[in-house]
Amino acid sequence: MTAPVRRPAGLPARRGGDDTLVMGVLNVTPDSFSDGGAHPGVAEAIAHGRRLVAEGADIIDVGGESTRPGADRVEADEELRRVLPVIAALAAEDVVVSVDTMRSAVAAAAVEAGALILNDVSAGLADADMGGTAARLRTRLGTPPVLVAMHWRGHSDVMNSLARYDDVARDSAAELAERLDALRRAGVEDRFLVADPGLGFSKTGEQNWELLADWDTMASHGLPLLIGASRKRFLSSLGVDRDAATAAVSAYSAQHGAWAVRVHAVAPTLAAVRVGDRLRRSARR
């Protein structure tokens, strides 16, 4: 029998029920691995965010710095220039916005612009002030932002060289547990934390499949779980369209109780998570 979906506090009440949410990816970058350069200006990015919402996205994750393998870091000022006007415009339309950043200064500015979620792929390792900043901030709803903490071992220029594990699921879960404890010590409450196992980050293709297959270990933190498999290279090993493979992983994730899946293609994912949701509810009867 499967467990109900765990949910973080700090989000509008309508974002809940017993459904897995769909987080639409909106990269305002020239070099992201899938959609880099697709939305080169503010107006184009805002329009794409609106399209993702119209297709059924519950959350829009706005990123101004690529985290693909080998990507160069951008200056904080440039990251802010890219993301803030997009966040402000979408939040003004009552869209639930997440900011994909490793910088506490960008996180603070994004929350001021209307973001409700901080999606830090480094779980505070890249910026030691992230936890304390997240704990002190208050969103437009009057609560701390939700903080997504992902398993991460190093920046894009070195992460592929760090894919060495005795047991990828257990090792990455243990390392993420250490980061979650550090964020708690910085003042972040469990009810505002989300865990992300870090598919594609410092993991080989085979390791990604091993990680996904060990759901109980991925979910062992007792927190809401975000799964980000969308269009990642390990899916190409199946010899099928990556969006179709992403949808299949999304259905699997929803069936197992993921809080949200982070994807580029919303429409096929929405259908997939609804199937997974329905199977999970039936299994609990």
How many angstroms separate the CA atoms of 235 and 50, rounded? 27
Is the pLDDT confidence value at 34 over 60?
A: no
Non-local (6+) Cβ contacts of 178 within 8 A are none
Whether the Cβ atoms of residue 280 and residue 251 lie closer than 8 Å to each other: no
Amino acid 285: pLDDT: 62
Calculate mean pLDDT across residues 105-112: 98
Is the pTM higher than 0.85? The answer reads: yes
What confidence score (pLDDT) does residue 16 get?
61
- Dihedral sign of CA atoms 116, 120, 126, 132 in order: positive
Give the pLDDT confidence score for residue 164 in this predicted structure: 85
* pLDDT tops 90 at residue 91: yes
How far apart CA 59 and CA 22 sit, in angstroms, is: 6
Higher pLDDT, 70 or 43: 43
Confidence grade of residue 157 (pLDDT, cut at 50, 70, 90) = low
pLDDT digits (tens, 9 = 90+) for 111-141: 999 999 999 999 999 999 999 999 999 999 9
- 207-235 residue pLDDT tens: 999 999 999 999 999 999 999 999 988 99
How does residue 4 score in pLDDT terms, banded at 50, 70 and 90?
confident
Note the maximum CA span of the chain: 52
Enzyme catalytic residues: 232, 262
Instruction: Give the mean pLDDT of the chain.
Output: 91
Closest C-alpha to 160, from 226, 32, 249, 71: 71
Nearest Cα to Cα of residue 175 among 206, 146, 154: 154
Q: How many whole angstroms separate alpha carbon 79 and alpha carbon 62?
A: 11
Cβ atoms of 183 and 150 within 8 Å: the answer is no
Smallest CA-to-CA distance from 60 within 249, 262, 271 is with: 262
